Amino acid sequence: MSGWLARHLQALLFALGRLVRAPWATGFTVAVIAIALTLPAGFALLVESASRVSDQAATAIDLSVYFKLETPLPEVQQRAAQLRTRPEVSTVQVITAEQALRQLQQDSGLAAALAALGDNPLPQVISLRPSASASGPAAIDALRRELAAWPQVEVVQVDGDWTRRLTAILALLRRLALTVGGLLALGVVAVVGNIIRLEIHSRRAEIDITQLVGGSPAFIRRPFLYTGALYGGLGAVLAMLLLTFGSLLLATPVSQLAVSYGSHFALAAPGWREFAALLAAGVLLGLTGAWIAASRQLAALHPRFES
């Protein structure tokens, strides 16, 4: 067991030594791998951040029922009372035209201009929130149609519509991230595979001699596999740095943008879980590339004996 460990440690250190001795070549390869890992990971992080917002919003779909301007308030209040008795409605709130106007005057700072209008241009509104069990798209749509058919009603607006659209867009983006991620993963495998192929070529004499003294295929393959795994691992570490740096750089402008839309959207910074996943992906991809190259190349090599 300890011999086994020592052998692997030795192969790892040997592979690491080789990478360190060619810092430029190693750096370029690691950078390519890091970029290939950063793109889908950053994309995924963005989608996750957005879906957290949409999850919060999804439970808060509101319907605003705008009444025709001439509708008297008691009629509206009667309608509200009617709605409160229905099981699929959880809360009902009447916003009178006066309240709305006062609110607008306060918020907009257009008090003088609005006062000059004389007549209140705002309608009476019932704001209602469906109960959780009636928040499905079909139920909401049915409710919206019913309310819109009332003679006093001008229009019914579903305020949560954008969250549904967002959810659909996010599902699309998630799939896109997976596709792009899959393609770039293949790219990492190809890059590492090609590097290992070249490395095997340049160390042909060494491989020959090792075979001549009885080195098993596993023994000969081992340092190349470690090299591939190291490339992938180092690429993941660099990708993580890029992601952290990128999220720090974007965090402030993104939250400013979000606040201006009245949202709590915040860019998720990558954490240990993301790092572990990225590292595992990098190592696995590097290993795969190295394995494919080593199996193909070493199978093709046979020791020659020239004298």
Query: Judged by CB, which is closer to Mg ion: 107, or 306?
Result: 306
Q: List the one residue out of 191, 171, 169 whose CA is nearest residue 37.
A: 191
Please check whether residue 57 is in contact with residue 160, taking contact to mean a CB–CB distance below 8 angstroms.
yes
Instruction: Report residue 70: phi and psi, to 5°.
Output: -85, 0
Please check whether residue 242 is in contact with residue 235, taking contact to mean a CB–CB distance below 8 angstroms.
no
Kindly indicate which of the ranges 161-169, 195-203, 261-269, 299-307 contains the residues binding Mg ion, using the contact rule CB under 5 A.
299-307
Please check whether residue 101 is in contact with residue 125, taking contact to mean a CB–CB distance below 8 angstroms.
no
Strands 89-95 and 125-130, by their bridges, are antiparallel
Please check whether residue 207 is in contact with residue 294, taking contact to mean a CB–CB distance below 8 angstroms.
no
- Out of 116, 138, 213, 300, the only residue in the binding site for other proteins (CB under 8 A) is 213
| 305 forms part of the interface with Mg ion (CB under 5 A) | no
Cβ at position 14, least distance to other proteins in Å: 11
| 256 forms part of the interface with Mg ion (CB under 5 A) | no
Cβ at position 294, least distance to other proteins in Å: 16
Sketch the per residue contact string, 7 through 36, with other proteins: x for CB under 8 A, - otherwise. Answer: x-----------------------------
Cβ at position 224, least distance to other proteins in Å: 15
Kindly indicate which of the ranges 27-35, 96-104, 175-183, 208-216 contains the residues binding other proteins, using the contact rule CB under 8 A.
208-216
Please check whether residue 235 is in contact with residue 34, taking contact to mean a CB–CB distance below 8 angstroms.
yes
Number of residues that bind other proteins (CB under 8 A): 21
Query: Judged by CB, which is closer to other proteins: 223, or 232?
Result: 223
Site for other proteins in 219-248 (CB under 8 A): 219
Q: What share of the chain is helix, strand, coil (3-state, %, to 5)?
A: 75, 10, 20
Three-state DSSP class for 263? coil
Kindly indicate which of the ranges 186-194, 205-213, 224-232, 261-269 contains the residues binding other proteins, using the contact rule CB under 8 A.
205-213
Q: How many CB atoms lie within 10 A of CB 197?
A: 18
- List the structure tokens of 195: 């590097």
- Out of 3, 74, 87, 262, the only residue in the binding site for other proteins (CB under 8 A) is 3
| 201 forms part of the interface with other proteins (CB under 8 A) | no
HSE at residue 143, side-chain half, CA atoms within 13 A, is 26
- Out of 87, 118, 214, 271, the only residue in the binding site for other proteins (CB under 8 A) is 214
Contacts of 208 (CB under 8 A, 6+ apart): 301, 303, 304
Residues in contact with Mg ion by the rule CB under 5 A: 307
Residues in contact with other proteins by the rule CB under 8 A: 3, 6-7, 205-206, 208-217, 219, 303-307
